[in-house]
Structure 1
């Protein structure tokens, strides 16, 4: 913990990706705590408790209005862009010039500082802002309850397909990610750090399938594919380079890359991270 920084009187927090999985929950948490929030998205869709503002990473003409009256920003990089730094870094420099003093970046546990894609934004962040944090959550628990391919397949045929083998992941609740984001954005002292966010236990996909089956009362089975099988299957749905990257993430899980538990949620929010079973019961019980 380093530099102190009370919120600028009357200033707002800008949440980019305000209708997304973590952005919507971050907006709700900020609004519930009494903060002024600007909810940024491509459509400028109204979000409860916030001022909607249209924002498009690829349209710099939308950036000035989004930054007006803002002193902190939650940054969700453009999804699916292989080089997000090309658009995110110019925006962040513009934000700093507009007196935004704190930025909280959403990255991922699988992407190291200086690594590819968002890792390059992570690396540059401390040189742009005096107050900053990078949230690197593990895989979302909501991948099994919302609109993700895993959740859809569970609903349609009771299967989960991965190339993770017996590898384990400390899945994290999006509500916990948002709670950490709220604290990182609003605490008097900025964390100025890299926060790897996980749930309280590491689970294999076999474990996940068993818990979902118990909660929903329907059979759910994890089928483990080879890296090549997963890559080729994904390549039928998306560009080959992206398919190979996603299959490679599964292979990294199989090799133990995500088999770790941190205490960041507890340290930042003052309460334990939620378990996968608790989230499954909250979001899936009675839904199937």
Structure 2
């Protein structure tokens, strides 16, 4: 593999960004770890970066020839800030960009779908990662994790719809290959775990692993929208609730071989993820 200059990882302290940073470091690549507070990250050069503060962009991009892009959290129009940044990145010598999007959002769709659509016209080397729902949604301080701990329940408007939940470590592993392999994917990569599961099945797996009863409680679209809107802007809450409604209609009932194909190993199961989380929290 040819040596490369630094890779800028935006959102380097986040769910996928910190894993991408760690895996790049483990392979000996130089990393600039971007976050709003320039939080120190082992083995990387911490740099301050804020999508909404263009004055932070130049320092972040200095000495970089590829970038891992995590859109601004909670924004319904990320293209407004991301496209000017990407044009600056291209002009400054960045030649490869890997964008984190979502399985629920196609090229040209809402929110980050607009950035997805523009990316191939901006860079000759690119990839768009479109993971299904993260297994990490059931751990840490997420809404699902809180309701599991406090109520023994997962609340969704997904009905009996199935989702190919994927581990963020597998997303990061694909991102590292997309960033560093000699040949860029130049493709839209749909990422899932090995099984499509209903939330009833998710609750059963968590119950089995933790030995604590967890149930799936079904909400209406409106109930879920209002539940999200207590924590995030209404427009974004409406979009998220709409994604649950799409799950109920079968939009996420699929699996792909992308993780296996790009990393050479199968994606992790939800059962293995839950066991790992239980060990780490005990």
TM-score for both structures, normalised by structure 1: 0.95
Q: CA deviation at 1:146?
A: 1.9
Are residues 1:272 and 2:266 paired?
A: yes
3-state DSSP of counterpart to 1:133: strand
Structure 1 unaligned blocks of 5 or more: none
CA offsets, 1:138-167, max 9 Å, x none? 000000012210011111121110000100
**1:55 corresponds to:** 49
Residue pair 2:74, 2:232 contacting (<8 A) in 1 also = no
**1:86 corresponds to:** 80
**1:42 corresponds to:** 36
Residue pair 1:7, 1:188 contacting (<8 A) in 2 also = no
CA offsets, 1:181-235, max 9 Å, x none? 0000000000000001000000000000010011111110110111122223333
Q: Distance in 2 between matches of 1:286 and 1:198?
A: 23
**1:256 corresponds to:** 250
Q: CA deviation at 1:239?
A: 3.0
**1:75 corresponds to:** 69
CA RMSD of aligned residues (A): 1.3
Q: Distance in 2 between matches of 1:233 and 1:52?
A: 36
Q: Among residues 199, 207, 211, which one is paired with 2:193 in the alignment? A: 199
**2:175 corresponds to:** 181
Q: Distance in 2 between matches of 1:76 and 1:7?
A: 24
Q: CA deviation at 1:285?
A: 4.2
The 5 A counterparts of 1:107-118 are 107-118=101-112
Q: Distance in 1 between matches of 2:149 and 2:3?
A: 44
Residue pair 2:75, 2:236 contacting (<8 A) in 1 also = no
Structure 2 unaligned blocks of 5 or more: none
**1:281 corresponds to:** 275
**1:66 corresponds to:** 60
3-state DSSP of counterpart to 2:8: strand
**1:24 corresponds to:** 18
Q: CA deviation at 1:267?
A: 0.5
TM-score for both structures, normalised by structure 2: 0.97
The 5 A counterparts of 1:90-239 are 90-239=84-233
Query: Number of residues paired by the alignment?
Result: 282
Q: Which runs of 4+ in 1 moved over 6 A?
A: none
Residues 16/257 of structure 1: CA separation in 2 closer, same or farther (3 Å cut): same
Residue pair 1:216, 1:287 contacting (<8 A) in 2 also = no
3-state DSSP of counterpart to 1:99: coil
Q: Distance in 2 between matches of 1:285 and 1:204?
A: 24
CA offsets, 1:118-138, max 9 Å, x none? 000000001110000000000
